[in-house]
Structure 1
Amino acid sequence: MSSMIHLSADGWCARVDDDAVDDDLARIADAAGTFWAQASPGAIVYVAFDTRPDAERLACLAGRILAGHGLVAKVADRFTPVPALAWTIANDQRACGGLMVTGSQRPYDYVGVRIYTADGVSPTREVSDELELLIEPEPASVFGGIQRTDIATSYLDNLYASVDGDAIAHAGLSVLYDPLYGAGRLHLPMVMSALGIDVTEIHGEFDDDAIDLHPEPVEPWVDDCERAVVETGACAGFITDSDADRMSAVDERGRYVSPRMIATLVLKHLVEYRGEKGRVVLGVSASALTRRVAKALGCRVVMKPTGFEHIYKEALKGDVLLGVEGRTGICIPSHMIERDGLHVALILCELMAKTDKTLAQLVDEVEREYGAMAYAVRDLRVENEVSEIFRTMLPGLNPHTVAGREPVAVSHMDGLRLEFDDESWVLLRPSRMDPVVRVYAEAPTVQERDRLLEAGCEIARGEALDSGMQ
């Protein structure tokens, strides 16, 4: 019996040893083909893939199914970063969308597919729901021919031109790049080398360690990069996930630089050194530090629910300088509406070149001027019935105190977000797909952050309902 397929914000994913992987991916490609053929008969669809062992074969399968619907299926001729796919779709008026075969941040024994619309962004929840309804119980049996296409080169040329090449070339930067065996490998070093950056790549070619590594640019998966930066004397290290839309960094001291701090540095650079203006769109789980800096720089701040689709919608309206989610990346609409970890890495190189400062110096400057903030997320697994009770009660939750502190602002825009007088906050969001409540917290100290995290978990488990809710 065919399984039900649900499409999340990152599409669909399964273990490669699941016997139904080929059939399920084919069913999704068939649904996408039906959707696009109805809306744009004969249009172009692009299909790309990351470095996973089966990704290219599955991309060709998806392309043949899409071609069976009368669409022109152009399949990448080599592994390709997802920003290259998104950029290519958005810049081809004949394209109606595309597919990326990838497991994103999941380990390399997973594979899946992400869907992109004609704007080069992930579909809204409404479009994903419509696609789910089109998924048939059995895979397609009608196939067509595919065209193998270079999706990367035009994007890389644009990437090269997106930064100040003269400033970077004169800076003599030496950096380390860790693609975590993903699709950014070779591509980012090629652009960096052309810009005059001395770049060393680790975790490029697959080896025995690859299968156990989570290609997600967070600790502990960045530990090797932290050590290598110090050992090689690099001025910075950059880490991207499997499909290269998200990134983090390491400073020359071997300290992890989170995407939240990176977003703040990028924002300052865009305003102070490039003279750009616009709104800053933040998800409710984005750092208060970024909001604090945006206001200080005179940028209008817009808060949106979690999910990059809300940032995309704002970016499509225009006048957005930067879009930031808590854990899921950075969007610079003047470059492209989709997230692009490779572009952000180059922006940081441009920032170091123009200021003649190291990454550690830039981070320290921000924290001295605007204050440090400690941020963490905890995925709390609960029983199904506890999750349902919490979800039902959520709209009416209004705690008098949390961790002994009285909130100064309460928002139910996306879960329950409580903010305090020093801009520390805690956010509780039940997962749409799993019996998980995601608890976020940020505060000036690790100790206060952890108290807020634990208090949030108590609320999610129902342990504080009697005394803390009204």
Structure 2
Amino acid sequence: MPIKFGTDGWRAIIADEFTFANVRLVTQATANYLLQENGPGQLIIGYDNRFLAPEFACSVAEVLTANGFTVYLPSRSVPTPVTAWAIKKYGAAGALMLTASHNPPAYCGLKFIPEYAGPALPATTSAIEKEIAAVGTGGEVKTLDLDTARARGLVRELEPEAAYREYLRRLIDVGVLRKAALKVVVDPLYGAGIGYLEDFLRAAGYQVEVIHNHRDPLFGGALPDPSARGLEELSRRVRETGAHLGLALDGDADRFGVVDGDGTYLTANQVLYLVLAHLVLDRQYRGPVARTVATTHNLDLLARAHDLEVIETPVGFKYIGAALREKGCILGGEESGGLSIRGHIPEKDGILATSLVAELRAVQNRSLGAILGDLQSRYGQLVNQRLDLKVDPVAKERILQELPGFAPAKVAGIAVTGRLTVDGMKLTLADGSWVLLRPSGTEPLLRLYVEAPDGERLHRIQQDVTAALRI
């Protein structure tokens, strides 16, 4: 099976496709690409808490040093956003990160992060895939024993935690946190983010309790996913301790999860809305806002009221990262839990996102639910839902063939005002509602996103679209 890069790197099942041989193959291909682009230089290596991740990282280092690169290799796991940030700190040519993010424990992954410290764009991953094919059909995979590489000065230690926390102090108003001295429960979900968020908040004067803060490659028998289901224990602990907030990270700490003081889980769309409001209203930021086609238009309601441009991208934080780099966006976000802001790296960062939530909670000195209610009263409200619709491959192919010609004048009796095909098929409606249908790239699923002013209209739109396409 050919090795392909998906939305965020190559991921596969450990000991099946994700083997030491294939990790060396992908690393050699990446080295070939970089040597053709700029020659040898410095590279960062990061890895999460998954099974054999440290050992895979050593294999990556052995291949890179054999190809003339100097590598920064950590002695413990490092979050994806911190690995990306280290590229800038050390002036490296990029990074290789071993992670499968929030995927099941059986998976691991490897991705290349370019010199700008954000996700690689398709042109880069396609070039690396061509190198993978070339190396896999007779090319040489070079390796250098790690002890020899160390003796030659090609391996340097990477201990970024203290420096990253100090850097975070420049992005977050620590004085506000210290004055509020709120109580928070932190859940790093056994992942690479252990120690980062809790230590930062403690140093800023917060009272912090931590759960799931030791390495467990099985992630407690669940997914390292900060979803409502994945954070049930965090919600319970927030209620039991009377904490003001519950803050969580996924397995590699690039995505966030947030629980209000009453134990209510907030969706990523709600958190993005809150953070954008904090940036615009409290910090007085002005500039464009970037979101994916699948992300809430509540951001648009707030942006429109303040004459801010909204840039809509395909799904995938690589496109958000490009907007942050090229358009000077004050915030970039996606409904799957990714967020970054102007002045930070163009990579999603759960540590930054949750720290911003702590800051806005301290500034407002009231529950997130109360803040959200005020925003909805001031700017309007849209409710949203994503449905993952299981379809057999034949039906999926039929629907995808019909989709380019699907252009109704009305949906659920509401006039269609716009049609977008940048990623799937998206219709915008006269009352502010919208519907997006896009296929999963890896599963027999169609993802149906709908947002509307109320739940009744949302369900009518869902029913109308699924009936029209015979899903």
Specify the TM-score bucket, using the shorter chain as the normaliser: over 0.9
1:17 Cα deviation after fit: 4.1
Question: Amino acid of the residue matched to residue 227 of structure 2?
Answer: V
Matches within 5 A, 1:38-53: 38-53=36-51
Structure 2 CA distance for aligned equivalents of residues 240 and 59 of structure 1: 22
Larger displacement relative to structure 2 (355-364 or 178-187): 355-364
Measured on the aligned residues, the alpha-carbon RMSD in Å equals 2.1
1:325 Cα deviation after fit: 1.8
- Give CA deviations for 1:21-42 in whole Å, capped at 9, x if unaligned: 2222221111111111222222
Q: Is 2:191–2:215's contact at 8 Å kept on the other side of the alignment? A: no
Q: Specify the alignment match of 2:379 in structure 1.
A: 370
Q: Is 1:49–1:102's contact at 8 Å kept on the other side of the alignment? A: yes
Q: Specify the alignment match of 2:101 in structure 1.
A: 104
Q: Is 1:282–1:325's contact at 8 Å kept on the other side of the alignment? A: yes
Structure 2 CA distance for aligned equivalents of residues 387 and 193 of structure 1: 50
- Residue 136 of structure 2 corresponds to residue 137 of structure 1: yes
Q: Is 2:118–2:345's contact at 8 Å kept on the other side of the alignment? A: no
Q: Specify the alignment match of 1:463 in structure 2.
A: 470
Q: Specify the alignment match of 2:419 in structure 1.
A: 410
- Residue 92 of structure 2 corresponds to residue 83 of structure 1: no
Q: Is 1:90–1:119's contact at 8 Å kept on the other side of the alignment? A: yes
Q: Specify the alignment match of 1:186 in structure 2.
A: 195
Q: Is 2:257–2:337's contact at 8 Å kept on the other side of the alignment? A: no
Matches within 5 A, 1:210-359: 210-359=219-368
Larger displacement relative to structure 2 (228-237 or 449-458): 449-458
1:207 Cα deviation after fit: 5.7
Structure 2 CA distance for aligned equivalents of residues 20 and 290 of structure 1: 39
Larger displacement relative to structure 2 (212-221 or 235-244): 212-221
Q: Is 1:108–1:211's contact at 8 Å kept on the other side of the alignment? A: no
Q: Is 1:283–1:304's contact at 8 Å kept on the other side of the alignment? A: yes
Structure 2 CA distance for aligned equivalents of residues 64 and 369 of structure 1: 57
1:364 Cα deviation after fit: 2.2
- Residue 54 of structure 2 corresponds to residue 60 of structure 1: no
1:450 to 445, 448, 459: 459
Question: Amino acid of the residue matched to residue 137 of structure 1?
Answer: G
Q: Does the residue aligned with 2:209 lie in a helix, a strand or coil?
A: strand
Q: Specify the alignment match of 1:6 in structure 2.
A: 4
Question: Amino acid of the residue matched to residue 109 of structure 1?
Answer: A
Number of aligned positions between the proteins: 459
Q: Is 2:183–2:206's contact at 8 Å kept on the other side of the alignment? A: yes
Structure 2 CA distance for aligned equivalents of residues 368 and 117 of structure 1: 42
Question: Amino acid of the residue matched to residue 48 of structure 2?
Answer: D
Q: Specify the alignment match of 1:468 in structure 2.
A: none
- Residue 172 of structure 2 corresponds to residue 171 of structure 1: no
1:391 Cα deviation after fit: 2.9
Q: Is 2:113–2:120's contact at 8 Å kept on the other side of the alignment? A: yes
- Give CA deviations for 1:202-223 in whole Å, capped at 9, x if unaligned: 1112469725211111121111
1:328 Cα deviation after fit: 4.3
So what's the TM-score if we normalise by structure 1?
0.92
Larger displacement relative to structure 2 (426-435 or 47-56): 426-435
Structure 1 CA distance for aligned equivalents of residues 217 and 338 of structure 2: 29
Structure 1 CA distance for aligned equivalents of residues 418 and 182 of structure 2: 44
Larger displacement relative to structure 2 (229-238 or 137-146): 137-146
Q: Is 1:64–1:73's contact at 8 Å kept on the other side of the alignment? A: no
1:301 Cα deviation after fit: 1.4
1:238 Cα deviation after fit: 0.9
- Give CA deviations for 1:387-438 in whole Å, capped at 9, x if unaligned: 3333333333202333343322222232211122221211011234444322
Structure 2 CA distance for aligned equivalents of residues 359 and 261 of structure 1: 10
Q: Does the residue aligned with 1:407 lie in a helix, a strand or coil?
A: strand
Larger displacement relative to structure 2 (62-71 or 404-413): 404-413
Q: Specify the alignment match of 1:150 in structure 2.
A: 159
Q: Specify the alignment match of 2:152 in structure 1.
A: none
Structure 1 CA distance for aligned equivalents of residues 175 and 87 of structure 2: 30
Q: Does the residue aligned with 2:40 lie in a helix, a strand or coil?
A: coil
Structure 1 CA distance for aligned equivalents of residues 189 and 457 of structure 2: 33
1:257 Cα deviation after fit: 0.9
Larger displacement relative to structure 2 (402-411 or 213-222): 402-411
Q: Specify the alignment match of 2:450 in structure 1.
A: 441
Q: Is 2:276–2:331's contact at 8 Å kept on the other side of the alignment? A: yes
Identity of aligned residues (%): 29
Question: Amino acid of the residue matched to residue 268 of structure 1?
Answer: A
2:25 to 27, 30, 52: 27
Q: Does the residue aligned with 2:136 lie in a helix, a strand or coil?
A: coil
- Give CA deviations for 1:157-203 in whole Å, capped at 9, x if unaligned: 10123211111101011001111111111111111111111111111
Question: Amino acid of the residue matched to residue 353 of structure 1?
Answer: A
- Residue 407 of structure 2 corresponds to residue 398 of structure 1: yes
Question: Amino acid of the residue matched to residue 142 of structure 1?
Answer: T
Larger displacement relative to structure 2 (409-418 or 140-149): 140-149
Q: Is 1:107–1:211's contact at 8 Å kept on the other side of the alignment? A: no
So what's the TM-score if we normalise by structure 2?
0.92
- Give CA deviations for 1:317-373 in whole Å, capped at 9, x if unaligned: 242111122224112122221111111111111112222222222122222323333
1:113 to 110, 114, 135: 110
Structure 2 CA distance for aligned equivalents of residues 403 and 107 of structure 1: 38
Q: Does the residue aligned with 1:270 lie in a helix, a strand or coil?
A: helix
Larger displacement relative to structure 2 (144-153 or 274-283): 144-153
Structure 2: 5+ residue runs without aligned partners?
Answer: 150-154
Change (3 A) 1:440 1:366: same
Question: Amino acid of the residue matched to residue 277 of structure 1?
Answer: R
Q: Does the residue aligned with 2:95 lie in a helix, a strand or coil?
A: strand
Question: Amino acid of the residue matched to residue 262 of structure 1?
Answer: V
Q: Is 2:254–2:350's contact at 8 Å kept on the other side of the alignment? A: yes
